[in-house]
Structure 1
Amino acid sequence: MKTFSELHQAFLAKQSRFATYKVNGLNIIALSNVYHPDIESSSLFLLKPIVQRYQNLKTKKKRLLDIGCGTGVVGLSLSKYVEDLYLSDVGKNAVLCARINSFINFKSAKIYQSDLFTSLPDLLFDVITFNLPLLHQNIESTVELATNDPNGQIFIKFVEQLSLYLEPQGEVFFTYSSLGDLELIKKIPECFDVEKVAIERDEETGIERYVFKLIMN
């Protein structure tokens, strides 16, 4: 059985290569060092419970923001449920990738290079999604922008700023895992109702990953 370190290095090697995917009827290009939306990815893990909730929507959500969008697969897959789609990522490669995928799939999206909310327009969103980096380790290479959250600081900054960008009764969906510090979930401000809407356990490693939903009350 391979160690977690060996599995992670193999994972990073895969992310460093160019690849193409077919996801939810979309043609997705994954540039090197941009998180790949393969079948086991946390991108698709995040998408599943959101689609389950939104597939029978009678009225579209007004604005959706997908932070850390990578290839854009989450936001582009959800575009049919919203009037206006916003995608953002801190990485230049990811922003370029999201723009390419938006163009080749004939999807309209406003795309920004932004560290969380820093460079985004001053708007309120009905839905915010974030496939968070799940490893609480230092970032040592470009590819680790999508996987590593040093000491959980990205998560902490994210939840501390959320209320400034969310409509009343707005929804937030984000990934988390047992690789991170689960105690940090307690740092979510009290103005949010917190619900764990998905959980999955890897039998080989014992690692669990989750999707949390927040509603601002």
Structure 2
Amino acid sequence: MPTYYGLQILLDENVYEPAEDTFLLAETVEVRPGERALDVGTGTGLIALLMAKKARYVLGVDINPNAVELARKNARLNGIKNVEFKVSDLFERVEGKFDVITFNAPYLPGRPEEPIDFALVGGERGREVIDRFIAEVPDYLSAEGRVYLVQSSITGIEETLKRFEDAGLSAEVVARKHVFFEDIVVVQARR
């Protein structure tokens, strides 16, 4: 069983395995003690569990029921109790405001066919899920809140920055890593 950042994480072939994009997000996201955090597309739960070390409460959501069950197991395995996991299509089953919202977004063009595809495939242009997230996220962000969105350069970073601006948030690239034929970036947005 692999260990990431001091946490033991069970893996499942139907759930996205932590990779370079996950690690870039883990090393970039900042959570202050006592904050409420939301991890959209939680996968194995790694980011949610890392945020739970400082946050008062963390909610992890994923459209893939296999991911939600795996994340719950990983929370139990690591003895982390201030985290909850739900099946949700983005914000569908989310209530309240959060100080930190993370999303390692799917960004490959195409249509999801298997449960694992929801972690990778973001719609016909690869942006549909990202664009929905950006349009809806302001409703769930506290006054001092921060959004951390991971995406690839192949899906249009400038378009993401503009869409955040259109949604009333200021955004900037705060981390970047070159992997194979693309750059993986973390975009941070705030009011």
Q: Structure 2 length normalisation: TM-score?
A: 0.91
Q: Deviations over 1:186-211 (max 9, x none)?
A: 22235211111111113xx3311100
1:48 aligns to 2:22 (yes or no)? no
Deviation at 1:183, TM superposition (A): 4.7
Structure showing greater Rg: 1
Equivalent residue number for residue 184 of structure 1 = 159
Asked if 1:63 corresponds to 2:36, the answer is yes
Q: Give distance in 2, aligned partners of 1:128 and 1:142.
A: 23
Give distance in 1, aligned partners of 2:147 and 2:86.
19
TM-score of the superposed pair, with normalisation by structure 1: 0.81
Displacement, 1:134?
A: 2.5
Alpha carbon RMSD of aligned pairs, Å? Answer: 1.5
Comparing 153-162 and 185-194, the one that deviates more = 185-194
Whether the aligned pair in 2 keeps the contact of 1:136 and 1:179 (CA below 8 Å) is: no
Deviations 1:115-164 (A, max 9, x none): 001012x2111110011113132213222111110121111110101111
Query: Where do 5+ consecutive residues of structure 2 fail to align?
Result: none
Q: How many percent identity over aligned positions? A: 28
Q: How many residues align?
A: 186
Corresponding residue number in structure 1 for 2:188: 213
Which of residues 42, 51, 55 in structure 2 aligns to 1:78?
Answer: 51
Residue of 163, 177, 200 corresponding to 2:138 = 163
Q: 2:8 aligns with which of 15, 27, 33?
A: 27
Amino acid at match of 1:179: I
RCO (CA 8 Å, sep 6+): is it higher in 1 or 2?
2
Q: Which amino acid aligns with 2:120?
A: T
Give the letter for the 1:114 counterpart: S
The 1-side partners of 2:138 and 2:157 are apart by 21
Q: Does 1:127 align with 2:104?
A: no
Does the CA contact (< 8 Å) of 2:103 and 2:149 recur in 1? yes
The corresponding residue for 1:102 is: 75
The answer on 1:111 being equivalent to 2:88 is no
